[in-house]
Amino acid sequence: MTSLKDDTSAAPAAPFPTAFRWGAATAAYQIEGAAGEDGRGPSIWDTFCRTPGKVLRGDTGDVAVDHYHRFPEDVALMADLGLTAYRFSISWPRVQPAGAGAFNTEGLDFYRRLVDALLEAGIEPWPTLYHWDLPQPLEDKGGWPERETAHRFAEYADHVHAALGDRVARWMTVNEPWCAAFLGYASGDHAPGRVDPAGSLLAAHHLMLGHGLAVEAMRARRPDNRFGAAVNLYAVSPATGDPADADAARRIDGLQNRLFLDPLLLGRYPEDVLADTSRYGFTPPDADLAVISQPLDQLGVNYYSRHTVAGTPGEAAQTASSPFATNSPWPGSEHVRFVPAGRPVTGMGWEIDEGGLHEVLTRLHREYPSVPLYITENGAGYDEVPDDDGTVQDAGRIAYLDAHLRACHDAISEGVPLHGYFTWSLLDNFEWAWGYSKRFGLVHVDYATQRRVPKESARWYAGVIRRGGLPERG
């Protein structure tokens, strides 16, 4: 294979700061496989995948892209891309199979080997401690709606940190608590598949409490390490000027963005969201907010699209996180409809709106205390197949990444403290309820052979990294 770095570089038309992190992201359940190896315990996703009608075609993460065994090849691919940072997640059930009690040395050893390989290749490791794979025994005891789960998470995080904190400086606690809470416990589109709106609000609170407790414990050990969480944020617009649509936008912005940003960064819950959800008796203890609002060294922003919403009757858009979606993931605002705004969509049916990323970044800068920002996920899912000559043409993904990176560039020029960008994802992988039918990778994976082939977007991204910025607008 010719090296992805062979591109002869011209100076970028849109340069990024020299220290800007250029990364890619993945998550344990989506790539590792080896579900039954070396002492790993069952997670809620193992159970969910085996529940008929939950995951397209009955796909599972049992093998995924076999990263557990092929990580040296994958680190070599990252090096060839020129990545300076790699965001991955640590599988809680691999490290602590029952979610409490004994830790599994073999599981931790895998992450030691991975981290060592990354450091050897000059790539900064960015582990996330929770990307949705709760140990099943903890779900059997009530899962995230139970306060105890937050304490179990902090204990697990502390143990991993004790093992790796000498070689890993940057830590992310929870990934996309909105999805874990509301897709997991309100709509049931994700594991554990419960439809319990009141429980989903408690889950959201306990995910943030777990984050705060974990940061407290880890920071006490190594104040020099850097800690944060990754939230999935959206720009939100009303469909029309109708006051009912404005109210819908306020509600969805509240549940999607402010329900997480306000406790984390301001140490309070948004009053209007507490009012919107009051029918579910959500009254989080005030004392927890001091724990949740630990100073953050970095905020991870996962951005994919904009929500356009209406509070009035009409046509609804297909924006589902699952092909089987039926229940609402918006507790207290179940009546809100998501409507098409007419923009082009990715293969997920998600509207492409790089302006929304600029809006999210500048809003963070304007409305919240200054915290270093990183795009911890951004990318596009399609279902592309290789051409006869084996190349994978993914012009749609290149256009998506180019547009969103230009939005980042503009935001930085306007003073937004954005310090890095991790594209989702390094490799094609298990896309949750969609199984293997949607591909987000820069690198194509043939799931029958596990052969990896960098797509055209990988060559493009390697060029951006090499030049330190974007080429002239095409």
DSSP assignment, residue 327? S
DSSP code, position 427: B
Q: Are strands 306-310 and 337-338 parallel, antiparallel or unpaired?
A: antiparallel
Q: Which amino acid is at 205?
A: H
Tell me if 73 is assigned to a ligand binding site: no
The SS3 call for residue 292 is: helix
The CB-of-423 to ligand IFM minimum distance in angstroms stands at 11
The answer to whether the beta carbons of residues 61 and 93 sit under 8 Å apart is no
> Is 120 annotated in some ligand binding site?
no
Q: Give the span between the Cα atoms of 148 and 57, in whole angstroms.
A: 35
Whether the ω angle into residue 192 lies within 30 degrees of 0, i.e. cis, is yes
Select 225 or 423, whichever has its Cβ closest to ligand IFM. Answer: 423
Name the site residues for ligand IFM (rule: CB under 6 A): 27, 30, 176, 302, 377, 424, 431, 440
CB of 377 vs ligand IFM, minimal distance in Å:
5
Residues marked active site are found at 176, 377
CB of 455 to ligand IFM, least distance (A): 17
- In the bound state with ligand IFM, the residue whose beta carbon lies nearer, of 232 and 308, is 232
Query: 307 a known binding residue?
Result: no
**Residue recorded with tokens 């990252």:** 78
Residue 295 DSSP one-character state = P
Pick 282 or 330: Cβ nearer ligand IFM: 330
Taking CB atoms, the residue at the shortest distance from ligand IFM is 27
- Residue 190 CB, nearest approach to ligand IFM (Å): 10
The smaller minimum CB distance to ligand IFM, of residues 171 and 269, is found at 171
Report the distance separating Cα 315 and Cα 308, nearest Å: 12
Q: What is the DSSP secondary-structure string of 245-273?
A: HHHHHHHHHIIIIIHHHIIIIISS--HHH
Residue (293 or 322) nearer to ligand IFM, CB: 322
Residue whose token pair is 């500048």: 362
* Beta carbon of residue 462, minimum distance to ligand IFM (angstroms, whole number): 22
| Closer of 323 and 471 to ligand IFM (Cβ) | 323
Q: Return the number of other C-beta atoms located less than 10 Å from residue 462's C-beta.
A: 23
Q: Say if residue 30 carries a ligand binding annotation.
A: yes
Query: Does 432 count as an annotated binding residue?
Result: yes
Contact 264, 296 (CB under 8 A): yes
**106 labelled binding-site residue:** no
Task: Say if CB 298 and CB 226 are below 8 A apart.
Answer: yes
**Residue 400, number of CB atoms within 10 A of its CB:** 23
Give me the least distance between CB of 27 and ligand IFM, in Å please.
5
Confirm whether residue 175 is marked as ligand binding: yes
User: Where is the binding site for substrate, in residues?
Assistant: 30, 131, 175, 304, 424, 431-432
